[in-house]
Amino acid sequence: MAIEAEGLCKGYGSTRALRGVDLAVPAGTVLGLLGPNGAGKTTTVRTLATLLVPDGGRAEVAGYDVVRRPHEVRRRIGLAGQYAAVDELLTGRENLVLIGTLLHLGRRAARARAAELLDRFDLTGAGDRPARTYSGGMRRRLDLAACLVARPSVLFLDEPTTGLDPVSRMSLWSAVRELVADGVTVLLTTQYLEEADYLADRIVVVDAGRVIADGTPNELKRKVGEERLEIVVTHPDGVPAAVSALRRVTAGEPVVDRDRGVVSIAVGEGVDSMDGIATAAAALRRENVAVADFALRRPTLDDVFVSLTGRSA
């Protein structure tokens, strides 16, 4: 295990931020720590990264106890937060060279490492501009690059894409995937099921300082309910034809909401979602059903929460 925690507890005054958190992350895998605001994600990350001392429980990161051997832990980890910790006045390249120099890489090796990381994160063109001119997405990428100068074996990413536009989010996701391909262990916190789904091997859902569920993305989604294909018919008279068309696509029974003119079927269980979509579209056309909307609806974090806790996130 690259990260292992048992019964972690942490309070701030009267707020009990962590109430016994257990985690186990095998080396070379990605754990998604998923939860709403205030769930305890940042507190968990800061405790594992030795920035906070837990009140109870124990944790090991990269084989070392976070309380007794914090220096050993720090030498092996990287931490990128929600707020990029780059020096605004320095250029991207200078930021990275500075870190390399502080790590005693030596001037030449520090410059080489900076160039390599700028290239890897598509920042070569902007490398000699002050970081204050960077977009939000570029800052996050520079921040991630800064964490990697020391070649950590365990990386903590605290809401790495919150507030980013979809294109920047995708580019950060692919950067994380590359790191994992290189064997880095990643613990990533997020409020987006979609992000955990795309990046994580396993997901742990936290709420109010406790783990309320864990599993692979598919196990978790199955617990919540599967992907559904929703068809909105143009006219309510089209509902019966839509139902008969969709019956041929799925083993289950289509669900009908007559008032909204919506017919939906589960995909994913037995029906692969792409095949299901294609077959459903063809069947609807054969029955001449006029369709106003045709959409694949995935369970959201909110669906996970409602299903697990009975309340909205």
**Rule CB under 5 A: is residue 190 a binding residue for Mg ion?**
no
Smallest gap from Cβ 37 to ligand ADP, in A, equals 5
Under 8 Å between Cβ of 250 and 270? yes
Residue choice 5, 30, 39, 271 for contact with ligand ADP (CB under 6 A): 39
Cβ closer to ligand ADP: 94 or 302? Answer: 302
**Rule CB under 6 A: is residue 35 a binding residue for ligand ADP?**
yes
Contact stretch for ligand ADP (CB under 6 A) within 36-44, 104-112, 237-245, 272-280: 36-44
**Rule CB under 6 A: is residue 100 a binding residue for ligand ADP?**
no
Under 8 Å between Cβ of 129 and 109? no
**Rule CB under 6 A: is residue 42 a binding residue for ligand ADP?**
yes
**Rule CB under 6 A: is residue 12 a binding residue for ligand ADP?**
yes
Under 8 Å between Cβ of 96 and 149? yes
Residues within window 37-56 making contact with Mg ion, judged by CB under 5 A: 41-42
Distance of CA 179 to the CA centre of its chain: 14
The candidate with the shortest Cα–Cα distance to 161, out of 178, 181, 139, is: 139
Cα dist from 292 to 201, 247, 260, 285, whole Å: 37, 19, 11, 13
Burial 65-79 (b: 16+ CB within 10 A, else e): ebeebbeebbebbbb
33 forms beta bridges with 189, 204
Smallest gap from Cβ 28 to Mg ion, in A, equals 25
Smallest gap from Cβ 34 to Mg ion, in A, equals 12
Contact residues for Mg ion (CB under 5 A)? Answer: 41-42
